[in-house]
């Protein structure tokens, strides 16, 4: 009988379960969206609700099985991926007692203390990441504000580790997820014991580190009752969502450029040694493959901005598309295709260029919409806003690529565009035009899940390595060439958009606009 495998992906704003056959063809998929609540008395907080998310993941599993037409006993293995940086804490009985996602930024005071002491620089030099979305200030915050929780912590994990723990009862991490904690030594791909000791954290709470593709255990009887997956199904270590997305987009060697378009966007570059940005702008993590590292710039909430346009400006069109059996985003792109490159001067200001040491995001804004012009109203006006969001994401991604070029001393001769944003026809074309590079789009655009499937297939013994699996299974849907007529126009438009974005950030620094988000430990200029 044909073996099938399941992957579970937990993102910032949604989760999904996919079923693949042994050739990594997608048999069925199901997803759920969620929001991350905050705690009003703790500004910047975000809570990862483990019980609620697990309930939604269980729904995804059940729906994917139903859509596949397979009985659950046809699933031979399951693996998982998730957002990075988020962590889960457990008591001695393995019960979750505290959890937060990547965007939690409540530990500002604690991060500022680590900056002042010089500890932030030591963490960055060892682990390649600033304090904004990593664990050290969060542990200090918990010790100070929730000592009742801190005293009970017996184990910690990253969020994808939590999914696998729920399934198998085995707690472990892999280097791609573990390195997003800020408590890893990038060079040796393991916990930075000296940093952990200097921070006063008990070393025994950190899980063992295993390679992606390692068989952790099997679905327990409890997990079987909750998910419908048979007891005994192999549970195999996956990894961090972006690194798996890069793998699932053919990223198996140094010099690979990829943009992963999801709720957040990541512009990524693979190297055969850790690349640490001396200006503390970008971040570096372990890749899922041994002896490879990934440096990235993060575009803030580009996918969420498109979702906001879907649910507000394009709400009626989106609902009609769903009624007609069409994807809402396809209907939105159809509107955007009717307007010219450059969106007729309309600019969406969504994400600033990443500057990890001083990372702040202004409220999302649209500039250039003219209420006196009839052609800025109706469906054309909606198309302008959709296209402006797409172009904004591409402009920020290009700015990150420019930094990656300067750090690596190399340029790419092409790029891979993957993730949910690559499903349509227009966004990949915009990326090709903005970057002035050919863009390859894989057949399976949910490359995070495909990367997790590669892990599962290695664990099942189908391939000797993740590189072998990816090289055999990644297939290409198309290559999009730049439109020469748009390249020069976008060079001007991207400079204008980035200038406007910098001006918006300056207004935030001056106190004239509220900040949408600020990372913990941000070294900010004084208000003037």
Task: Answer whether 501's CB lies under 8 Å from 494's CB.
Answer: no
DSSP string for residues in 177-241: HHGGGT-EETTTTEE-HHHHHHTT--GGGSPEE--TT-EEEE--HHHHHHH-PPTT-EEEEEEEH
- Per-residue pLDDT, 350: 96
Pick the closest to residue 57 from 159, 175, 172 (CA basis): 159
Asked if the model's pLDDT at residue 111 lies above 80, the reply is: yes
Cα–Cα distance between 288 and 304 in angstroms, integer?
Answer: 26
Q: Do residues 238 and 214 lie in contact, with contact meaning Cβ atoms separated by under 8 Å?
A: no
Distance of CA 516 to the CA centre of its chain: 19
Q: For residue 108, what pLDDT band results from cuts at 50, 70 and 90?
A: very high
How far apart are the C-alpha atoms of 359 and 505, rounded to whole Å?
A: 10
What token pair was written down for 124?
């960055």
| Stated length of the chain | 528
Lowest mean pLDDT among 32-36, 300-304, 450-454, 523-527: 523-527
| Mean pLDDT value across residues 177-183 | 95
Say which DSSP state 446 is in. Answer: -
CA 399 to chain centre: 18
Distance CA 286, CA 268 (A): 12
Look at residue 526 and tell me whether its pLDDT is greater than 80. Answer: no
pLDDT of residue 519: 83
Reported as type and span, the H/E element at residue 166 is helix 159-168
pLDDT at 528 over 70: no
Q: Which of 225, 83, 199, 81 is nearest to 138 (CA)?
A: 199
- The number of CA neighbours under 13 Å toward the Cβ of 249 is 33
Q: What is the CA radius of gyration of the chain?
A: 22
Section 63-89 average pLDDT: 96
Helix (H) or strand (E) holding 377: none
Pairing of strands 14-21, 87-90: unpaired
Q: What's the rounded Cα separation, in Å, for the pair 228 and 330?
A: 33
Percent of the chain predicted with pLDDT > 90: 88
pLDDT value for 517: 86
What is the token pair recorded at 317?
């069109």
Provide the pLDDT for residue 317.
85
Per-residue DSSP letters for 456-517?
A: HHHHTTS-SSHHHHHHHH--EEEEE---HHHHHHHHHHHHHHHHHHHHHHHHHHTTSS--SE
pLDDT at residue number 523: 82
Do residues 186 and 293 make contact, with C-beta atoms less than 8 angstroms apart? yes
Pairing of strands 96-100, 215-218: unpaired
Strands 439-442 and 415-418: parallel
Residue 326: HSE in the Cβ half-sphere, 13 Å Cα cutoff: 14
- pLDDT band for position 527 (cuts 50, 70, 90): low
Q: For 297-443+478-518, which CATH class?
A: alpha beta
With tokens 């900010």, the residue in question is: 524
* Residue 132 binned pLDDT confidence (cut-offs 50, 70, 90): confident
Instruction: For residue 149, count other CB atoms closer than 10 A to its CB.
Output: 14
Lowest mean pLDDT among 306-320, 332-346, 510-524: 510-524
Encode pLDDT of 431-440 as tens digits.
999 999 999 9
Mean pLDDT computed over every residue of the chain: 94
pLDDT tens for 393-441 read 999 999 999 999 999 999 999 999 999 899 999 999 999 999 999 999 9
Q: What's the rounded Cα separation, in Å, for the pair 252 and 247?
A: 6
* CB atoms closer than 10 angstroms to residue 326: 13
* Range 477-499 average pLDDT: 96
Above 80 in pLDDT, residue 157? yes
| Terminal alpha carbon distance of the chain | 70
Residue corresponding to tokens 């030591």: 122
Q: What integer pLDDT is reported at residue 478 of this predicted model? A: 97
pLDDT in tens, 20-66: 999 999 999 999 999 899 999 999 899 999 999 999 999 999 999 99
For 194-243, what is each residue's pLDDT tens digit?
999 999 999 999 999 999 999 999 999 999 999 999 999 999 999 999 99
* The pLDDT of residue 1 is above 70: no
- For 448, other C-beta atoms within 10 Å of its C-beta total 34
């Amino acid at each position: 009988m044909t073996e099938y495998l399941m992957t579970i992906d937990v993102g910032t704003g949604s989760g999904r379960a996919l079923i693949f056959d042994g050739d990594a063809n997608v048999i069925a998929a199901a997803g759920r969206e969620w929001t991350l609540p905050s705690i009003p008395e703790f500004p910047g907080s975000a809570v990862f609700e483990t019980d609620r998310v697990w309930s939604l993941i269980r729904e995804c599993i059940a729906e994917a099985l139903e859509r596949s037409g397979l009985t659950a006993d046809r699933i031979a293995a399951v693996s998982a991926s998730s957002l990075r940086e988020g962590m889960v804490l457990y008591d001695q009985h393995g019960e979750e007692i505290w959890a937060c996602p990547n965007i939690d930024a409540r530990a500002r005071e604690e991060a500022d203390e680590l900056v002042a002491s010089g500890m932030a620089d030591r963490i960055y030099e060892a682990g390649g990441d600033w304090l904004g979305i990593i664990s050290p200030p969060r542990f200090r915050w918990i010790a100070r504000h929730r000592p009742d929780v801190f005293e009970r912590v017996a184990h910690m994990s990253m969020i994808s580790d939590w999914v696998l723990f729920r399934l198998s009862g085995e707690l472990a991490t892999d280097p791609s997820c573990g390195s997003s904690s800020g408590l890893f030594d990038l060079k040796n791909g393991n916990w930075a014991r000296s940093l952990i000791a200097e921070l006063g954290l008990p070393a025994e709470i950190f899980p063992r580190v295993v390679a992606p593709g390692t068989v952790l255990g099997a679905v327990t009887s409890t997990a079987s009752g909750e998910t419908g997956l048979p007891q005994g199904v192999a549970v195999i270590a996956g990894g961090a969502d972006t690194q798996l997305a890069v793998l699932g987009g053919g990223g198996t060697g140094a010099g690979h450029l990829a943009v992963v378009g999801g709720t957040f966007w990541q512009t990524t570059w693979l190297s055969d040694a850790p690349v640490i940005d001396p200006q503390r702008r970008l971040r570096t993590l372990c890749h899922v493959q041994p002896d490879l590292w990934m440096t990235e710039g993060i575009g803030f909430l580009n996918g969420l901005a498109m979702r906001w346009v879907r649910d507000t400006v394009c709400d009626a069109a989106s609902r009609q598309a769903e009624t007609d059996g069409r994807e809402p985003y396809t209907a939105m792109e159809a509107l955007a295709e009717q307007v010219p490159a450059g969106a007729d001067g309309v600019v969406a200001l969504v994400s600033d260029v990443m500057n990890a040491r001083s990372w702040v995001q202004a409220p999302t804004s649209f500039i250039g919409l003219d209420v006196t012009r009839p052609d800025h109203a109706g469906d054309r006006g909606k198309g302008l806003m959709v296209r402006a969001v797409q172009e904004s994401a591409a402009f920020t991604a290009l700015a990150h690529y420019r930094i990656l070029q300067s750090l690596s001393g190399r340029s790419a001769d092409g790029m891979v565009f993957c993730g949910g944003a690559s499903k349509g026809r227009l966004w990949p074309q915009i990326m090709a035009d903005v970057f002035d590079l050919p863009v390859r789009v894989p057949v399976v655009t949910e490359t995070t899940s495909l990367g997790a499937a590669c892990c599962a297939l290695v664990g099942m013994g189908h391939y000797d390595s993740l590189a072998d699996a990816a090289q055999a299974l990644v297939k290409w849907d198309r290559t999009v060439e730049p439109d020469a007529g748009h390249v020069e126009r976008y060079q001007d438009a991207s400079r204008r958009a980035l200038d406007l974005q910098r001006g918006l950030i300056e207004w935030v620094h001056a106190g004239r606009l509220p900040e949408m988000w600020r990372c913990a430990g941000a070294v900010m200029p004084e208000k003037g």
